[in-house]
Amino acid sequence: MAAAALIGGWPSPFVLRARVALNLKGVEYEFLQEKYGEKSELLLRSNPVYKKVPVLLHHDKPVCESMIIVEYVDAAWAKSGQAILPADPYERALHRFWAVYIDDKVRMPPSISDLLVPSMFGIAKAQTEEAKAESVEQAWAALKLLEEAFEKLSKGKAFFGGGTIGYVDIALGAYLGWAKVIEQMAGLKLFDEEKTPLLAVWAERFCAHEAVKEVMPETEKLMEFAKMRLGK
Amino acid sequence: MAEGENKGLVLLDFWVSPFGQRCRIALAEKGVEYEYREENLRDKSPLLLKSNPVHKKIPVLIHDGKPVCESLIIVQYIDEAWPDRAPLLPADSYARAQARFWADLVDKKMYESGTKLWKLKGEAQEEAKKEFIEILKLLEGELGDKKYFGGDTFGLVDIALVPFTAWFYSYEACANLSAEKEAPKLVPWVKRCRERESVSKSLPDPLKVYEFVCFLKKLCSWHVNGHLCRPEYIVGGFRHGRLTSFVG
């Protein structure tokens, strides 16, 4: 095995976070794709607590939980590429706050398997039109807050991290593939140019970034995967 | 730059909150002076609402006018803002990742699971007990024979977990669950932590916690819904550990 290996699945936004971080640092790693529907021995051994992907194996030592992996990659390869978290303790606290907020709002239903279909603010799960409309309103409200956070953190630059992709960009950007799926399935725009103009532009920019574009799953493939998982 | 009147540290907190206690412990470990402000959670101060507009929750640490929210984020901030003393996280990046993982696990599991113990009854409570015991055993396994979760140095995971030990008495009284019996290896660790002044000065008397839990139970029996009662939505009648009024 290479010095760095990542256990994961291509549809998972959490796995994507780890891959983007590794790409930003130019780390060579082996991508150990889990077979859909099965959990490998290696995964169960490496993450006995949650039995979930992603797991980063660095010299065979496992690191679990996507944003913990991102922070670890930032520290372990501090000399390569740009810093993912800012140096200033207060700025770091702000970035960590928004990453936690993002995960809190874009909830993943625990009942579905590890190659998850994100509930994306509950829209996918919504049983009635009313419930769906409420979820959409909540989504837009959360994105509005993130739009304000973007203004504050980016300081006029391209990303939450400033000139380069940072911690919050990775946290939120990882959901963009699935956001497009939800937008198509629900017939609406989440990253709406009118409601959240800065984020709408940021979303395009993030997906086009060289650390992202090769590993961001294609919308059509995700749609197929979603349909299969939802049994449609 | 902060204005003169905004200088210094203020901690917006609530006496029984394990999340607030984490911050108090961290500040004490660093030997940093701060102003403690008790919030009335039924009548939140303008400062709290301004400092944590997103969640409107305690704890909030305000440093020279700049607010930091979320207890584990606050603890890490305290560690990074005063790097010259009492490190709360290990130097090695892998060890730091492990510390964050376990602190995050405590965050994900202890509060919800613990709340179920005093809130639920019958079969649901029995299920909750099984869940809670599993978490304790997991933590016991991770601690092993180490002095603290991080090894020889008191740190993030200890800080994340130790406030919940003040609730063990309540769990026993409400759910007949003895944490000491279920996870005996944690007992010396609890004792060791409580010997630290930062901990003994920050944690409430378990009997006062139990009084508070009984108060919450009364309230929850008046709120008929399926949600877990969160103290911050309910409490206003408790001040400095003494019941001053009932809500509802």
Q: Which residues of B142-160 are buried (b: 16+ CB within 10 A; e: fewer)?
A: ebeeeebbbeeebbbbbbb
Contact between B3 and B177 (Cβ < 8 Å) = no
List B238's β-bridge partners, or say none: B243
Q: Residue A201 CB: number of other CB atoms within 10 A? A: 14
Instruction: Report pLDDT for B226.
Output: 46
> Is it the case that residue B61 has pLDDT exceeding 90?
yes
Distance from the Cα of A60 to chain B's closest Cα (Å) equals 12
- CATH topology (fold) of A89-231: Glutathione S-transferase Yfyf (Class Pi); Chain A, domain 2 (1.20.1050)
Reference A51, options A109, A110, A3, A1; nearest CA is: A110
Q: Contact B80/A69, CB-based, under 8 Å?
A: no
- Model confidence band, residue A27 (pLDDT cutoffs 50, 70, 90): very high
Q: Residue B54 CB: number of other CB atoms within 10 A? A: 15
Reference A103, options B226, B66, B104; nearest CA is: B104
Q: Contact B76/A61, CB-based, under 8 Å?
A: no
Instruction: Report pLDDT for B5.
Output: 59
In this predicted model, what pLDDT tens digit does every residue of B153-173 receive, in sequence order? 999 999 999 999 999 999 999
More confident site: B192 or A129: B192
Q: Pick the range with the lowest mean pLDDT from A23-32, A122-131, A193-202, B195-204.
A: A122-131
Instruction: Report pLDDT for B244.
Output: 37
Q: What is the ipTM of this complex?
A: 0.92
Percent of chain B at pLDDT above 90?
Answer: 81
| Average confidence (pLDDT) over A139-166 | 95
Q: B101 to chain A: which residues are within 8 Å by CB?
A: 63-65, 68
Q: Contact B66/A90, CB-based, under 8 Å?
A: yes
List A36's β-bridge partners, or say none: none
> Is it the case that residue A110 has pLDDT exceeding 70?
no
The Cα A148–Cα A153 span in angstroms is: 9
Query: Any residues with CB less than 8 A from the CB of A182 and at least 6 apart, and which?
Result: A118, A120, A123, A124, A190
Reference A180, options A126, A137, A124, A138; nearest CA is: A124
Q: Contact B70/A49, CB-based, under 8 Å?
A: no
- Strands B66-69, A4-8: pairing kind: unpaired
Nearest chain A residue (CA) to B71: A97
Instruction: Report pLDDT for A125.
Output: 67
Whether A101 and chain B come into contact, CB under 8 Å, resolves to yes
Nearest chain A residue (CA) to B52: A97
Residue window 121-150, chain B: list those with CB within 8 Å of chain A. Answer: 138
Percent of chain B at pLDDT above 70?
Answer: 87
> Is it the case that residue B1 has pLDDT exceeding 80?
no
Of B73, B80, B104, the CB nearest to A97: B73
The Cα B94–Cα A69 span in angstroms is: 10
Q: Contact B94/A63, CB-based, under 8 Å?
A: yes
Question: The domain A4-76 belongs to what CATH superfamily?
Answer: Glutaredoxin (3.40.30.10)
Instruction: Report pLDDT for B248.
Output: 28
Instruction: Report pLDDT for A1.
Output: 55
> Is it the case that residue A21 has pLDDT exceeding 60?
yes
- Model confidence band, residue B2 (pLDDT cutoffs 50, 70, 90): very low
Angstrom distances, CA of residue B132 to CA of A67, A146, B117, B141, B159: 26, 35, 8, 14, 19
Q: Residue B39 CB: number of other CB atoms within 10 A? A: 23
Q: Pick the range with the lowest mean pLDDT from A69-78, B158-167, B215-224, B232-241.
A: B232-241
Percent of chain A at pLDDT above 70?
Answer: 89
Q: Contact A90/B138, CB-based, under 8 Å?
A: no
- Strands A55-58, A61-64: pairing kind: antiparallel
- Model confidence band, residue A184 (pLDDT cutoffs 50, 70, 90): confident
- Model confidence band, residue A15 (pLDDT cutoffs 50, 70, 90): very high
Nearest chain A residue (CA) to B100: A68
Whether B94 and chain A come into contact, CB under 8 Å, resolves to yes
Whether A158 and chain B come into contact, CB under 8 Å, resolves to no
Distance from the Cα of A117 to chain B's closest Cα (Å) equals 21
> Is it the case that residue A229 has pLDDT exceeding 90?
no
For chain A, the distance separating the N- and C-terminal CA atoms, rounded to the nearest angstrom, is 39
Instruction: Report pLDDT for A114.
Output: 30
Distance from the Cα of A219 to chain B's closest Cα (Å) equals 31
Q: Where in chain A is CATH 1.20.1050.10?
A: 89-231
The Cα B133–Cα B179 span in angstroms is: 8
Q: Pick the range with the lowest mean pLDDT from A28-32, A220-224, B126-130.
A: A220-224
Percent of chain A at pLDDT above 90?
Answer: 71
Whether A39 and chain B come into contact, CB under 8 Å, resolves to no
The structure tokens listed for B62 are 């305000």
> Is it the case that residue B236 has pLDDT exceeding 50?
no
Question: What's the angle, vertex CA A74, arms to CA A102 and CA A14, rounded to 5?
Answer: 40
Q: Contact A145/B54, CB-based, under 8 Å?
A: yes
Q: Contact B104/A76, CB-based, under 8 Å?
A: no
In this predicted model, what pLDDT tens digit does every residue of B74-117 receive, in sequence order? 999 999 999 999 999 999 999 999 999 999 999 999 999 999 99
Mutate to test the interface with B, among A66, A72, A138 (most CBs of B within 10 A): A72
Contact between A64 and A49 (Cβ < 8 Å) = yes
Q: Contact B77/A64, CB-based, under 8 Å?
A: no
Instruction: Report pLDDT for B25.
Output: 98
Mean pLDDT across chain B:
89
In this predicted model, what pLDDT tens digit does every residue of A64-76 receive, in sequence order? 999 999 999 999 9
Instruction: Report pLDDT for A107.
Output: 61
Q: Contact A68/B138, CB-based, under 8 Å?
A: no
Q: Where in chain A is CATH 3.40.30.10?
A: 4-76
